[in-house]
Amino acid sequence: MDDQTRMLAGLAGLGGLSQGDVGDPDSVRKQLGQPQQDIGDILQQIMAITDESLDEAQARKHALNCHRMKPALFSVLCEIKEKTVLSIRGIQDEDPPDPQIMRLDNMLLAEGVSGPEKGGGSAAAAAAAAAAGGSPGADGGIEHSDYRAKLAQIRQIYHSELEKYEQACSEFTNHVMNLLREQSRTRPISPKEIERMVAIIHRKFSSIQMQLKQSTCEAVMILRSRFLDARRKRRNFNKQATEVLNEYFYSHLSNPYPSEEAKEELAKKCAITVSQVSNWFGNKRIRYKKNIGKFQEEANLYAVKTAVDAASVSAQASQANSPATPNSGTVCPCQPPLTPTPPSISITLPPHTNQLRSMLLHTHCSSYTLAEV
């Protein structure tokens, strides 16, 4: 009833009513020529506006704005507002920036996801490659290109979702501001209060922004971890390089410490660096000493392979230097010189696929021909 009394007191100055008449609502209505209606019914109608249809609400708002007593009602509302707002003036208007959002922004900027695209993905890929211990090369270029492509996808998704977020926040903020400006015609709303409401809306939307940035940072970290794991798995040498290194190791088993010149030559053959050759031999020596029995079989295989390769090279050189027929001018060192064998009794040997066997048969047949003569 206090609010009703203040409202009627505001109406008294405009209607020519005395202070005694103000205390009696029925007397006020008689003086103003209004029908007797309880003030509670009027307030109930005002509160029911939210439940009415849009057309009915617009019609009621238009009638209220055109009513001759609206200025008096507005002044009473301003008085009530001044007394009520004293309790909320102590509230802090601006909150400090969220430190978690600041950390997320710094990380996204460092990874090249937010901000202008100036090769952030390439720098991140190079840093990841250095952390993995890899060396720059053709494979590294392909890996960096793949990393940049996937990072560009993450960047595109992030900016697309951020644009949707900013658009939704802007639309909702404009809607609330227009609504408050519209309501300010009926009830007192200061511009500062509108700014405070906008700040509250932005704080509500900041939780969505934090989730977006956090999920984007997680996607970048997963991409980096996969990139590093893939590089670690590809650090093993190919089969050909391993064969070359193992062959040298077992052929120099008595002293498996290659010189700098040998390391450079092996590095060129295997298409790796000299430091990688040194590391491989160091690890190989340690593994060999720990499990000699296991690696002894591997050493025997490489020894046989080396012997066969040497015999094959010797056989090819012998065939290249020997005459076409095995008994033409061939003299056994334990026999005196003999006359050449007539062509009519010459023996032609059949070809053999095994070169070692061909050499043995060649020597045996030559001795047999001389003995027969």
Q: What's the pLDDT at 229?
A: 66
Instruction: Please provide the average confidence, as pLDDT, over all residues in the chain.
Output: 70
Residue 250 clears pLDDT 80, i.e. is over it: yes
Query: What is the CA angle 55-56-61, rounded to 5?
Result: 100
Categorize the per-residue pLDDT at 353 as very low, low, confident or very high, splitting at 50, 70 and 90. very low
Summarize pLDDT for 307-318 with one digit per residue, the tens. 666 667 666 766
Residue 148 clears pLDDT 80, i.e. is over it: yes
Summarize pLDDT for 174-200 with one digit per residue, the tens. 999 998 888 877 778 888 888 888 989
Average pLDDT over residues 330-352: 42
Tell me the three state secondary structure of residue 136: coil
Start-to-end C-alpha separation, the chain: 151
Structure tokens, 279: 């590391």
Categorize the per-residue pLDDT at 158 as very low, low, confident or very high, splitting at 50, 70 and 90. very high
User: What is the spatial distance between Cα 116 and Cα 108, in angstroms, rounded to a whole number?
Assistant: 11
User: What is the spatial distance between Cα 129 and Cα 123, in angstroms, rounded to a whole number?
Assistant: 10
Average pLDDT over residues 296-325: 66
Average pLDDT over residues 300-328: 63
Categorize the per-residue pLDDT at 24 as very low, low, confident or very high, splitting at 50, 70 and 90. low
User: What is the spatial distance between Cα 221 and Cα 229, in angstroms, rounded to a whole number?
Assistant: 12
**% pLDDT > 90, the chain:** 12
User: What is the spatial distance between Cα 228 and Cα 128, in angstroms, rounded to a whole number?
Assistant: 6
Helix (H), strand (E), coil (C) string for 276-294:
HHHHHHHHHHHHHHHCHHH
Q: What's the pLDDT at 163?
A: 93
Write the CB contacts of 366 (distance below 8 Å, at least 6 apart in sequence).
Answer: 326, 327, 330, 332
Q: What's the pLDDT at 170?
A: 93
Residue 306 clears pLDDT 80, i.e. is over it: no
Structure tokens, 220: 């970048």
User: What is the spatial distance between Cα 125 and Cα 132, in angstroms, rounded to a whole number?
Assistant: 10
The enclosing H or E element of 57 equals helix 54-66
Q: In 3D, which of 192, 170, 167, 165 has the Cα closest to residue 180?
A: 192
List the domains of the chain with CATH numbers.
Answer: 2-85 (no CATH), 99-233 (no CATH), 257-312 (1.10.10.60), 325-372 (no CATH)
Structure tokens, 340: 């050449």
User: What is the spatial distance between Cα 218 and Cα 359, in angstroms, rounded to a whole number?
Assistant: 70
Categorize the per-residue pLDDT at 37 as very low, low, confident or very high, splitting at 50, 70 and 90. low
Q: What's the pLDDT at 13?
A: 45
Write the CB contacts of 8 (distance below 8 Å, at least 6 apart in sequence).
Answer: 22, 25, 28, 39
Summarize pLDDT for 234-245 with one digit per residue, the tens. 567 788 888 889
For residue 51, what is the DSSP state?
G
Categorize the per-residue pLDDT at 87 as very low, low, confident or very high, splitting at 50, 70 and 90. low
Burial class (CB in 10 A: 0-12, 13-18, 19+), 155: buried
Greatest mean pLDDT range, 14-18, 97-101, 277-281, 286-290: 277-281
Q: What's the pLDDT at 230?
A: 62
Q: What's the pLDDT at 134?
A: 47
The full length of the chain comes to 373
CB 10 within 8 A of CB 72: yes
- More reliable by pLDDT, 67 or 16: 67
